[in-house]
Amino acid sequence: MTEPYTPPKVWTWEVPSGGTFASINRPIAGPTHDKTLPVGEQPLQLYSLATPNGVKVTVMLEELLALGKPAEYDAWLIEISKGDQFGSGFVEVNPNSKIPAMMDHSVTPPQRIFESGSILLYLAEKFGALIPTDLAGRTECLSWLFWQMGSAPYLGGGFGHFYAYAPEKMEYPINRFAMETKRQLDVLDRHLADKDWMAGGEYSIADIAIYAWYGNLVLGRAYNAAEFLDVASYKNVLAWAQKIDARPAVIRGRKVNRNWGQPWEQLPERHSAADLDALPKAP
């Protein structure tokens, strides 16, 4: 840092802090405007965007459908850069105003579910899939799921913010969060040295959750930071991520609630499997 900073005795919010998401960051909760959420015909209503946390859920739903589970869903686009997450309807589903959020209308009264890890666990238990049934396997799976939920803020909110989104590059925070990101990648690389999947013998919600963040990082899709972090050196993580990336349900799930990229990569709203089937083919 070029100038020392002395924190005030009491912090007050005076001006936006700058950076890519400055216009939507604020120190208070609650809605900023009235907006009713749309509701489609499917039992599950997803309100999301294809960020890593959003991709977790769309991949999960597509995996469940691939298994023959009755997990049909409507996926509605929430454009966080425009503040959709602060609409009154969305805040009713998720008082924390973060995507993804879901309503299950197959139960009475309809059940809201927020936080991506909670949604994955809810769907796994509801449909009896993608989570081990034995106590030891389930515990291992949930340990890794909660590890991801606790670790990703260092990757996204820490490293990603200061490396890619902050208004200026600052050596100390970039070094601090790069070190922690590489430590986390090393945790994964060591764990996957003798395992096919995070929970051991079967693909699970732990793999889905961790792939959405760390898989995409080592595959070169996050923050333009693959070379900086030397992600190719984490060979076990890379092989695991490539294996997940090739799954048909993952390929489909990554396209849902996406409104950027090539035409064959994006489906801002999804209301049936036919919507994905109708996308143009990649050349």
Residues 203/176, Cβ–Cβ less than 8 Å: no
Does residue 238 register a pLDDT over 90?
yes
Q: What is the DSSP letter of 156?
A: I
Identify the burial level of 221 via C-beta atoms within 10 angstroms of its C-beta, where 0-12 means exposed, 13-18 middle and 19 or more buried: middle
Q: Which residues contact 198 (CB under 8 A, 6 or more apart)?
A: 140, 141, 144, 191, 192, 204, 206, 207, 210
Pick the CATH number of 13-130+254-283 from 3.40.50.300, 2.40.128.50, 3.40.30.10, 3.20.20.100: 3.40.30.10
Does residue 244 register a pLDDT over 60?
yes
pLDDT at residue 116, rounded to an integer: 98
The secondary structure of 49-102 as a DSSP string is -SSHHHHHHHHHHHHHHHTT----EEEEE--GGGTGGGBHHHHHH-TT--S-EE
Q: How far is CA 225 from CA 37, 180, 220, 275, in A?
A: 36, 14, 7, 33
pLDDT at residue 3, rounded to an integer: 75
Does residue 157 register a pLDDT over 70?
yes
Which strands, in side-by-side order, build the sheet including 111-114?
A: 73-77, 44-48, 101-104, 111-114
Q: Residue 268's pLDDT band (boundaries 50, 70, 90)?
A: very high
Does residue 1 register a pLDDT over 60?
no
pLDDT at residue 47, rounded to an integer: 98
In the block, which residue shows the tokens 């961790």? 210
CATH architecture of the domain with residue range 135-246:
Up-down Bundle (1.20)
What's the distance, Cα to Cα, between the start and end of the chain in Å? 47
Q: Read off the pLDDT of residues 19-37 as tens digits, 9 standing for 90 and up.
A: 667 777 888 999 999 999 9
pLDDT at residue 122, rounded to an integer: 98
Does residue 16 register a pLDDT over 70?
no
Phi and psi at residue 6, to the nearest 5°: -105, 110
What's the chain's average pLDDT?
A: 95
Q: Read off the pLDDT of residues 160-214 as tens digits, 9 standing for 90 and up.
A: 999 999 999 999 999 999 999 999 999 999 999 999 999 988 999 999 999 999 9
Q: Residue 18's pLDDT band (boundaries 50, 70, 90)?
A: low
Residue ranges, CATH 3.40.30.10, the chain: 13-130+254-283
What value does the mean pLDDT take over residues 239-257? 98
pLDDT at residue 46, rounded to an integer: 99
Q: Read off the pLDDT of residues 64-120 as tens digits, 9 standing for 90 and up.
A: 999 999 999 999 999 999 999 999 999 999 999 999 999 999 999 999 999 999 999
